[in-house]
Structure 1
Amino acid sequence: MDRRYQVFISSTFTDLVDERREVMQALLEMDCLPAGMELFPAADTDQWTLIKGVIEQSDYYLVILGGRYGSTTEEGISYTEMEYDYAVQLGIPVMGFVVSEPDAIAWGKTDKNDAAAKKLGEFRKKVQRKMTKEWDNAEDLGSKVTRGLMHLIKTNPRPGWVRGDQALTPETRAEIAELKARVAQFEKKEAENSTSQLIPIDERFAYGDDQIELHVVHKGFFFKSASEDGSLTYTWDDILEVLGPFMIDEAPEPLLRNTFNNHMLLEIQNGTDGDWSREWNDQSVEISDKSWGAIIVQLRALGMMTIGTKKRTAADKSVYWKLTPAGDQYLVSLRAIPSAVINVH
C-alpha cells in the first residue's frame, strides 16, 4: 500500500529560509508531506496549541539547528526546543541536523547575546544525544535529510497516510464482512431472546372489552367556523384493531391520528350513534387532544406500544410508534381468522 508520511520541520526561521526550502523540496521528492510554520494557516487558535496539533499528526520530526536559539516564551525556552521536547514526549521518531561549523556562520545569522548562545549550545547537546547529522550548506542539508529520513523510516515504521480508495485492503474488507456477520448473528440472537422472554401486557390497566368514551369535534363543510362536540364509545380492542396494523413496523403519529379520525367519520356516517344521525357533505371529524393522549398513554401502559427507533431525516419531526412483541402477539390473536371460519370453495 502506498503510504505518505507527514514530517514536521522545526527550526528558527529567518536565518534558515534557504535551508528549510531545500528540506521541503527533498521531502516532496520523497512523496512526504512537509509540515512547518510557513504552512500554518491563520487561525484564532493560539500558536502553541496549533503547533502541538500538527506535531501530534506527524509521523516523523526533524529539527534543524543553525546559529540562533530563536524566539522564546515567557519561561525563556525557545519554540524550537519546546517543539522538540513535545515530539520526544509523544514518542515520535526524531532526527536532528546541526550545522557542522557554528563559528563559520555569518554574524547576521547568529545570536547577539551570550545568554541565547549558551542556551543554543545546551540545546545542541540535547539534540545530539539522539540521531543527528551535521550539515555544511543548504544543498548538503537537503541531501542528508533524504538519506537520514529513509533510514528513519526503515528503522522506525509509522502509520503514515493512505488514499481513501486504498485504505481498505482485501484483508480489511474480509475482516469487516466477518464482523458484520457476527453483528447480524448477535442481533438475531437478541431478537430470539426478546421473543422467548416476551413480556405480557399489563392487565392492571383497562383493555380488551373495557370501554372508553372519546371526545370528538365534528366540523361541517358549509359552516367551517362552527363545530359540534360529541362522543363515541369504543372498546380497547376496537382501538387496537384500527391502529395496530399500521404499527406492525413503525408509523408516524399524524398518520395514526388521521387514520382514527377517518374511522370515526365512517362510524358517524353509518349512523352507529344517534347523537350523530344528521348527514353532512365533506364532513371533518377530529378526536380531541385529550382523548388521543388517553389512547397513547393507555396503549403504552399496557405494554402494547412503544416509540419507534428507526433513524429518520433531520426534517422529519414526527413521533413514530410501533407495536411491542406483546402488542403484536395480542393483535394477531385479535384479528387472525381461525381456520374453522374459512370457507374453502
Structure 2
Amino acid sequence: MDRRYQVFISSTFTDLIDERREVMQALLEMDCLPAGMELFPAGNTDQWTLITGVIEQSDYYLVILGGRYGSVTEEGISYTEKEYDYAVELGIPVMGFVPAEPDAIPVGKTDKDSRATERLAEFRKKVQLKMTRDWSNAEDLGSKVTRGLMHLIKNNPRPGWIRGDQAITPETRAEIAELKATIARYEKKEVEISAYTPTQMDSKFAHGDEEVTITLLHKGRGYLQSEDGELSYTWDEIVEVLGPFMIDEAPESSLRNTFNNHILLDIQADTEGTWSTDFMSPSAKISDRSWGAIIVQLRALRLIAVGTKKRTVSDNAVYWKLTTAGDEYLVSLRATPSRAEQAGANHSLSHP
C-alpha cells in the first residue's frame, strides 16, 4: 500500500535557506510530506501551539544544525532545541544532521555571542547521542537526508498517510464484513429476546383479589404537613388502573403519576374521616418502596415487560408494556360481558 510520511524539518532559518530547500526537494522526491516553519500560515494562533500540533502529526523528525543556535524562547532555549526535545518526548523517530566542519562555516552564518555558541555546542552533543549524519554543503545534505530517512523508515515503521480510496484493503473489507455479520447476529438475538412476551400469567405469585398494602406520602393545603399513610389495593385493581396505559409502551414516570392520581381520588372520596379534613386538596404520592414492589410483582406475574421501541439517545426513561398474558388478563378484567353471558352467570349462581 502506498504510504506517504510527514517529515518535520527543524533548523535555524536565515542561515540555512539553501540547505532547507535541498532537504525539502529531497523529501518531495521521496513522496514525503515536508513540514517546516516556512509552510506555517500567518494567523493569530500562538506560534508554539501551532508548531507542536504539526510535530504531533508528523511521522519523522529531522533537525539540521548549522552555525547558529537560533532565536530563544522565554525559557532561554532555542526554538530548534525545544522542538527537538518535544519530538523526542513524543517518541517520534528523529535524525540529526550536523556540519562536518563547524569551523569552516562562514562568519556571517555563525553566532557572535559566546553564550549562544556554547549553547549550540551543548545542543550538538545532545543531538549526536542519537542517529546523526555529517553534511558539508546543501547538495550533500540533500543526498544525506535521502539515505538517512530511508534507513529511519526501514527501522522505525510509522503509520504515515494513505489515500482515502486506498485506506481499506481487501483483507480489511473482509474483516469488516465479518464483524458486521457478527453484529447483525447479536442484534437479531437481542431483538428476539426483547420481543419475547409471556402468553400465560405466572399464578404462583399473589394476584387477583389478594391485597397489597402500599405506603404513601401526602401534603396538605395551607401549610406543608407531611404525613405517612397506608392504603390497600387488590392486584386486580392495580392492573385495572395501570393496564390500559401499557397497551402501548408508557414511561414509568407517567404510570406512577396515574397511580398517584388514583390514590388522590380515593383520599378525597373518603367518607369515614380516615384522612384529616385539612387534606381537601392534597398531593398524594406512592412511596418509592411500594412502587418498586408493584413493578416487581407485575413482572413476576409476567403481566408486564420492559419496552423495546427505539428512542432518542437523550430519552433515559424506562418504558413498560403489557405482555400477551398481561393484555389478555386486562381484557378479562375490563371488558364488559354480553347480557346473555351475564344472565347465564346469574342463573348459575341461583341454581347451583
TM-score by length of 1: 0.62
Q: Following TM superposition, by how much is the alpha carbon of 1:132 offset from its aligned partner in structure 2, in angstroms?
A: 1.2
CA contact (8 A) 1:96 1:133 kept: yes
* Residue matched to 1:152: 152
1:86 corresponds in structure 2 to 86
Q: Establish whether residue 128 from structure 1 lines up as the match of residue 128 from structure 2.
A: yes
Q: Which residue of 2 aligns with 1:267?
A: none
**Superposition TM-score, scaled by structure 2 size:** 0.61
Quote the residue 1:329 is aligned against.
Answer: 324
Partners of 2:69 and 2:120 within 8 A in 1: yes
Q: Which runs of 5+ in 1 are unaligned?
A: 213-234, 252-296, 337-345
C-alpha distance 328-16 of structure 1, shift in aligned 2 (>3 A): farther
Distance 1:54 1:166 in 2: 24
State the match for 2:27 in structure 1. 27
Give the Cα–Cα distance (whole angstroms) in 1 for the partners of residues 330 and 102 of structure 2: 94
Judge conservation of contact 2:197–2:323 (CA < 8 Å) in 1.
Answer: no
Give yes or no for contact 1:208–1:236 (8 Å, CA) kept in 2.
no
Partner of 1:104: 104
Corresponding residue number in structure 1 for 2:335: none
**Aligned partners of 2:197 and 2:324 also within 8 Å:** no
Relative to 1, partners in 2 of residues 1:328 and 1:37: Cα closer, same or farther, differing over 3 Å? farther
- What is the identity, as a one-letter code, of the residue corresponding to 2:324? Q
Partners in 2 of 1:100 and 1:31 — Cα distance?
A: 27
Q: Distance in 1 between matches of 2:311 and 2:12?
A: 53
Alpha-carbon separation, structure 1, partners of 2:61 and 2:309: 48
Change beyond 3 A, Cα 1:323–1:137: same
1:46 is matched with 46
Report Cα offsets for 1:138-197 as digits up to 9, x if no partner: 222112211211121112111111112211111112222222233333334444555679
d(CA) in 2 for partners of 1:86, 1:239:
67
Q: Secondary structure at the match of 2:22?
A: helix
Distance 2:98 2:3 in 1: 28
Q: Classify the secondary structure of the residue corresponding to 1:96.
A: strand
Secondary structure of the 1:10 match is strand
Task: Supply the RMSD in Å over aligned alpha carbons.
Answer: 4.2
Task: Name the stretch that deviates more: 160-169 or 189-198.
Answer: 189-198
SS at structure 2 position matched to 1:77: coil
Summarize the Cα distance change of 1:310–1:237 in structure 2 as closer, same or farther, 3 Å threshold.
Answer: closer
**CA distance in 2 between partners of 1:157 and 1:329 (Å):** 61
Deviations along 1:14-52, whole A, 9 cap, x unmatched? Answer: 211221122112111111111112222345443223222
Instruction: Work out whether residues 308 and 320 of structure 1, in 8 Å CA contact, stay in contact via their aligned partners in 2.
Output: no
> Does the residue aligned with 2:2 lie in a helix, a strand or coil?
coil
SS of residue in 2 equivalent to 1:134? strand
Q: Secondary structure at the match of 1:181?
A: helix
Counterpart of 1:137 in structure 2 is 137
Q: Specify the code of the residue in structure 2 equivalent to 1:89.
A: E
Distance verdict in 2 for CA 1:237–1:67, change over 3 Å = closer
Is 1:74 the counterpart of 2:69 in the alignment? no
In our comparison, the structure showing a higher alpha carbon Rg is 2
The 1-side partners of 2:142 and 2:234 are apart by 84
Report if aligned partners of 2:61, 2:92 keep a CA contact under 8 Å in 1.
Answer: yes
| Structure 2 residue identity aligned to 1:156 | N
Measured against aligned partners, the alpha-carbon deviations of 1:222-266 in whole angstroms (never above 9, x if no partner) come to xxxxxxxxxxxxx658945xx84x65xxx9xxxxxxxxxxxxxxx
After superposition, give the CA deviation of every residue in 1:245-304 in whole Å (9 maximum; x if it has no partner): x65xxx9xxxxxxxxxxxxxxxxxxxxxxxxxxxxxxxxxxxxxxxxxxxxx9xx99785
Matches within 5 A, 1:233-312: 239-240=244-245, 244=247, 310=310
User: Measured at CA, do residues 125 and 319 of structure 1 come closer, stay the same or move farther in structure 2, by a change above 3 Å?
Assistant: closer
Question: Is the contact between residue 8 and residue 62 of structure 1 (CA under 8 Å) also seen in structure 2?
Answer: yes
Amino acid across the alignment from 1:69? Y
**Aligned sequence identity (%):** 65
- Rounded Cα–Cα distance in structure 2 between residues aligned with 1:81 and 1:35: 17
Determine the structure 2 residue equivalent to 1:4. 4
How far apart in 1 are the matches of 2:326 and 2:22? 77
Letter in 2 for 1:165: D
Distance 2:309 2:48 in 1: 44
Indicate the residue corresponding to 2:281 in structure 1: none
Give the Cα–Cα distance (whole angstroms) in 2 for the partners of residues 329 and 207 of structure 1.
21
Letter paired with 1:155: N
The answer on whether the counterparts of 1:207 and 1:236 sit within 8 Å (CA) in structure 2 is: no
